[in-house]
A and B are shown apart, each in its own frame.
Chain A
Amino acid sequence: MSGDKNKVMLEIKDLKAEIEGKKILNGINLVVKPGEVHAIMGPNGAGKSTLSSVLAGRADYVVTGGEVSFNGKDLLEMSPEDRAREGVFLAFQYPVEIPGVSTTNFLKTAINEKRKYLGQEPMEATAFLKFMREKMELMEMDKALTSRSLNEGFSGGEKKRNEVFQMAMLEPKLTIMDETDSGLDIDALRLVSAGVNKLKDGERSFVVITHYQRLLDYIVPDFVHVLYKGRIVKSGDASLAKELEVKGYDWIKTEVEQEANA
């Protein structure tokens, strides 16, 4: 499934970040190559959402050390919107509502802002609508949702599906999914995973944050990492997720503590 073995899309080196003086990320190292799927698991409060927010450029977080490069560019130097335009997409754990703005209008703006950044002409209305119709079919999205105000009054599951639909529309290079599976019913989980799999083309990469092995049955990861106390403390292949499902995190926590004491 992987693309060029020598190319690196995302490289995180010893990344440290804090919020309001509280250290959350304590030296993250991660390399993602084109076409790879990485799963990040870990107990509540470990720093998974923080990592995704820092990568997306959320201003509340202060990066106190380390480097992140994305396709050779210094990601941390870029504004959040430029990171997005360069092809970083974050499917939010808690998508926000924007009253009065339809998903259609929102995405049209987003796509055209990206095109402007890339020096391309804006997409005209008819071409855009056609493109959107195709993606809606591909993602099996309900028409009613895209004409409503963005996420307003959407159920938890609908919001998550809308995130994946937006991803399909924006065609990012790197997608970070923050617990997109939480709150999905079984059918929606299947639809969302199928959607993601349809977008895999050997070039696009995915970082999938999840608590459940179940999702990884559908979206099969090349690597599984365990994040604990702001560090990646264990990495492995898909079987690691299965092991965690059975054994929980205690054994890893114990391992970490033993190492610290040694």
Chain B
Amino acid sequence: MAEEVDIIDQVVGQEYKYGFTTDIEMETAPKGLTEDTIRFISAKKNEPEWMLEYRLKAFKYWQGLTAPNWQNFNYPSVDYQDIIYYAAPKEKIKLDSLDQVDPELLKTFEKLGISLSEQKRLTGVAVDAVFDSVSIATTFKDQLKEKGIIFCSMSEAVHDHPDLVKKYLSSVVPYTDNFFAALNAAVFSDGSFVYIPKGVRCPMELSTYFRINAENTGQFERTLIIADEGSYVSYLEGCTAPMRDENQLHAAVVELIALENAEIKYSTVQNWYPGDKNGKGGIYNFVTKRGICMGDNSKISWTQVETGSAITWKYPSCILKGDNSVGEFFSVAVTNNMQQADTGTKMIHIGKNTKSRIVSKGISAGKSHNTYRGLVKVNKKADKARNYTQCDSMLIGDRSGAHTFPYIEINNKSAMVEHEASTSKIGEDQIFYCNQRGIGTEEAISLIVNGFCREVLNQLPMEFAVEAQKLLAVSLEGSVG
């Protein structure tokens, strides 16, 4: 209906709130990627020899690769020699004391709603703040230490906990995994490291906040979370970036390891700059995230709310190795204007009685495209594996697209795999009904979309569920009118 398109035209397109830049003196690596770049990064971080060797191996491997092209979206090829691979605030930062952090940086995070200062910290949430290539500060470190929990930047972990890093880094996502994983292994600058000791239930949410600031830089962070036997942790990451006309690359790797009876809950609220209305600028968010349920009865649960980025390309996955282990994937992906998303998950059933659940909600507005791509694989020995997949798409307007590619590979007859999919459209009827009760069109869309995503939003920690709801509303503003 012509009327509907008009309505929809008017709601998409409000300004990105986090588009400001921080003016701060930076130290950067020269543009481009050679062995020297990698040596530069490694030297900056004062890394041990084994780390440098690992990076160089990954780099060699990467050089032999070509960028993948099986995705369901278009993007101009990235010139990897035109990117700065390392950028850090110049001032020397003592990571343990906030007093020595540049006030400009603290202000930046305040603006983003992340307070690093002692008085105003989010209660019950420990934060690691990553600015361009380095971790700025980690809060509540001491309190966590009492329980034996390690929560620090990756750079610190390389120095302070080399055994753990050596043992687990690259164990879930080897650098040979894919093009971006190899690139990340070669040039990763920082990220978060978490270790929860045996039997410990982490008493607070752990959270990393990623901020890209510098121009022409890529962000390549690396996160490693190890939950030892019988432990539990809930971890959340958030991301924003300034508005810039050129595209910036974000190619992170996240690895999760859950040992026997352990549980890891990993939530992402991704709000990288999506580019402007006409598709100019924005972040390319090409991320490899994978967790392994190593031990019996372990559980890994991914929740993601993806509203930002020009292109999102990621499949947080679970390898269900331990018997009775459980993998979950809850996803909301919103695309508006010219944004594109190709996202989903892989559930690899290896152990007996393993279970997985996938709930994906894709919302497309404007001229955007939203693809769900998921693999459920049941190996030969995975007796009685079970999967339930629910994949819902919602279209706003009639110029956007929703696509679903479920792949299923079953090698064991006792497996039970269910897949349900639906596509709906926010109808003019629903909007008018809300209008008639006094609810304006934008508010109505936000209400309807939040209702559509409720199952997923319910998975988020309380503090962030509200934020995520607002984010959904903002990213769809202007999508109807």
Residues of A participating in the B interface, judged by any CB pair closer than 8 Å = 56-60, 79-81, 83-85, 89-90, 92, 95-96, 98-101, 105-107, 109-111, 113-114, 117, 149, 166, 170
Contact = CB atoms under 8 A, between A and B. Distances in A.
Which among A90, A101, A149, A166 has the greatest number of chain B C-beta atoms within 10 A?
A: A101
A84 B438 contact: yes
A114 B433 CA distance: 15
Nearest to A117: B438
A149 B427 CA distance: 17
B451 A101 contact: yes
Contacts of B454: 100
Interface of B: 1, 3, 7, 427-430, 432-441, 443, 447-448, 450-455
Given A60-B3, A113-B443, A98 B430 contact: yes
A113 B430 contact: no
B440 A81 contact: yes
Nearest to B454: A100
A100 B452 contact: yes
Contact of A109 (B432, B447, B453): B447
B427 to A, nearest CB: 7
Contacts, number: 80
B437 A84 contact: yes
Nearest to B394: A99
A117 B1 CA distance: 30
A58 B443 CA distance: 17
20 contacts: A57-B436, A79-B440, A80-B436, A81-B435, A81-B436, A84-B435, A84-B437, A85-B438, A89-B436, A96-B430, A96-B433, A98-B430, A98-B433, A98-B448, A101-B450, A107-B437, A109-B439, A109-B447, A113-B438, A117-B438
Nearest to A94: B429
Contacts of A106: 434, 437, 447
Contacts of A90: 436
Contacts of B447: 98, 101, 105-106, 109
Contacts of A149: 451
A57 B441 CA distance: 13
B27 to A, nearest CB: 48
B282 to A, nearest CB: 29
* Interface class of chain B by DSSP: helix
Contacts of A96: 427, 429-430, 433
Contacts of B437: 84, 106-107, 110, 166, 170
A95 B439 contact: no
B392 to A, nearest CB: 9
Nearest to B451: A100
Which among B3, B430, B438, B448 has the greatest number of chain A C-beta atoms within 10 A?
A: B438
8 A-B pairs with least C-beta separation: A100-B451, A101-B451, A80-B435, A84-B438, A110-B437, A100-B454, A114-B438, A85-B438
Contacts of A58: 432
Contacts of A83: 436
Given A57-B435, A101-B451, A170-B437, 8 more contacts: A57-B436, A81-B436, A81-B440, A84-B436, A84-B438, A92-B433, A98-B434, A109-B443
Contacts of B429: 96
Contact of A170 (B432, B434, B438, B453): B438
A6 to B, nearest CB: 29
A81 to B, nearest CB: 5
Contact of A99 (B432, B435, B443, B452): B452
A56 B432 CA distance: 9
A252 B433 CA distance: 34
B459 to A, nearest CB: 14
B244 to A, nearest CB: 36
B433 A110 contact: no
Contacts of B436: 56-57, 80-81, 83-84, 89-90, 92
B125 to A, nearest CB: 23
A115 to B, nearest CB: 9
A117 B448 CA distance: 21
A117 to B, nearest CB: 7
Which among B3, B429, B434 has the greatest number of chain A C-beta atoms within 10 A?
A: B434
Nearest to B3: A59
A181 to B, nearest CB: 20
B451 A99 contact: yes
